[in-house]
Homo-oligomer: A and B are copies of this chain.
Amino acid sequence: MCANEKQISLLMSKMKQKFLETRRQSEKLIQNLEIEDFSVQPADFVSPPKWHLAHSTWFFEQFVLKDFDIHYKLFNADYAYLFNSYYNNVGERVLRPNRGLMTRPTVNDVLQYRKYVTTNVEKLLDETNKKELLDVVEIGINHEQQHQELLAYDIKYILGNQATQPTIQLDLLLEEETQKQEFIAIEEGVYTIGHQKDSFCFDNELGVHKTYIQPFEISNKLITNGEYMAFIESGGYKNFNLWHADGWDFINENQISAPMYWHDIEGVYHYYTYNGFLPVDKNKPLTHISYFEAYAYAQWAGMRLPTEFEWEVASKYFNWGQLWEWTSSAYLPYPNFKTAKGALGEYNGKFMVNQQVLRGASIATAKNHKRHTYRNFFQTDMRWLFSGVRLVK
C-alpha cells in the first residue's frame, strides 16, 4: 500500500463514520413515533416520515450503489419509482403514488431497506478506493441531513395538528435570547461573498464574487415571542399598510393572526411544542412565521430585514444557529453560477425563482451543516420551518 492509497483509505474510513452516524441520526429522530405517524401527508409541503427515510436511502442506492458497485442487486425495483422525488421517469404501473396514501411498503419494509442499503454502502466504502466515491457519498450524507431537518418539521406538523396534540420528546429546544440588545455597525464597501474553502458546500454557494454593501447596523439578537406579542396586540395583523399585497391576501385567506402552532386560550397564547402544549415563553426567539410576517414585523418596528450579503458579512459578530433567519434577498443564482451535471444538477438551480433566502441554521440542523455561506430558501408563505427574524436599521 503506497502513501496515496493509505490516505484514501483513511478518508474512506472517516467518511464511513460520518455516513453511519448520519444514518443512525435519522433513525434516532423517528424512534418515538407510532407506526401510524409515518404515512400521513397533512399538507402538500409535508412528506410522510416513511418517505424521508426511504427517499434518502434511495439516493444512496441510485447514485452510490448502482454507479460504484457492479454486483449490487436492487432491494426492490419498485422503490426507485416510489421514492424518487424527481418523477421524470415514467413508471410502468398504472397508478401514480400519492405519498400520503402509500400504506405499502410498510414502515418495517422501509427500515429493512435502510439496513440493506446502509450495509452495502458500508461494505463499498471498506472495499473501494475510488476518490470519486467520496464526493458522491458526501453529497448523500448532506442530502440525508437536509431531510433530517425536514423530518423534524414534518413530525411537528403531523402531531401538532392532531386534535389530541401528542408529545414526542424530541430534544430540539430553543434557548432564551437573554443577551443585551445591541446593534453592530458594518462599514460600507466592497465585500467578497460565497464559499471559499476546500470543504463541502452546495453549488448555490459558489460563484464567489464581490458585492457593494452600504453601511448598516444589525441586531445581535433574534426577535423574541414577547416582542412579537406587542406587534400582535398593537393590531399588526389588521393593518394592511404593514404588509405586502400578497402577504395581506395570504393572512386573510388563511385567517392567520398569530404564528403557526399558537392558540389563544382565554387570552393567553399557548403553542404546541414537541414536548407538549405550553404557554408561549416570552424570552425565547419567535419562530414559525412566514416571510410575509417577518417583513410586516420589521415594517412595524421601523426597521428592515438584512440582505443575505449583509448577513454573511456581519454574521461573525453575533451568535446564530438557533433559527433560520429570513433575509430580504430573493433566491437567485450568484454571478457565474454553474449547475452541476446530470441528475445532481437538479438540486438547486431550478428552484431559483419566487423563493426567499434564509441564512444561518436551526436547532434541527446537523452540526456540519452550519456555515455562514449556507443559502437556505423557502417560499414566502412557509411557516412550518424553524424560521426567525433579525432586524437591521
Interface residues of A (CB under 8 A from B): 34-40, 42, 78, 81-82, 88, 91, 93-98, 100-107, 158-159, 161-166, 190, 209-212, 214, 240-241, 243-248, 263, 291-292, 295, 328-330, 332-333, 335-336, 345-346, 350-354, 356, 380
Which B residues are in CB contact (< 8 Å) with A345? Answer: 241
User: By the criterion CB–CB under 8 Å, are B36 and A100 in contact?
Assistant: no
User: By the criterion CB–CB under 8 Å, are B34 and A104 in contact?
Assistant: yes
Q: Which 10 A-B pairs have the closest CB atoms?
A: A330-B330, A36-B103, A212-B212, A35-B35, A245-B350, A37-B103, A42-B101, A244-B353, A214-B335, A97-B163
How many monomers of this chain does the complex have?
4
Chain B, Cβ-Cβ closest to A329: B332
> How many angstroms from the CA of A210 to the CA of B210 in the assembled complex?
12
Chain B, Cβ-Cβ closest to A209: B214
User: By the criterion CB–CB under 8 Å, are B211 and A164 in contact?
Assistant: no
User: By the criterion CB–CB under 8 Å, are A102 and B380 in contact?
Assistant: no
Which B residues are in CB contact (< 8 Å) with A36? Answer: 35-36, 38-39, 103-104, 106-107
> How many angstroms from the CA of A153 to the CA of B328 in the assembled complex?
31
User: By the criterion CB–CB under 8 Å, are B101 and A161 in contact?
Assistant: yes
Which B residues are in CB contact (< 8 Å) with A248? Answer: 350
User: By the criterion CB–CB under 8 Å, are B40 and A105 in contact?
Assistant: no
Report which of B34, B335, B353 forms a contact with A106, defined as CB distance below 8 A.
B34
Distance to closest chain B CB from A181 (angstroms): 23
Which B residues are in CB contact (< 8 Å) with A42? Answer: 98, 101
Which B residues are in CB contact (< 8 Å) with A336? Answer: 214
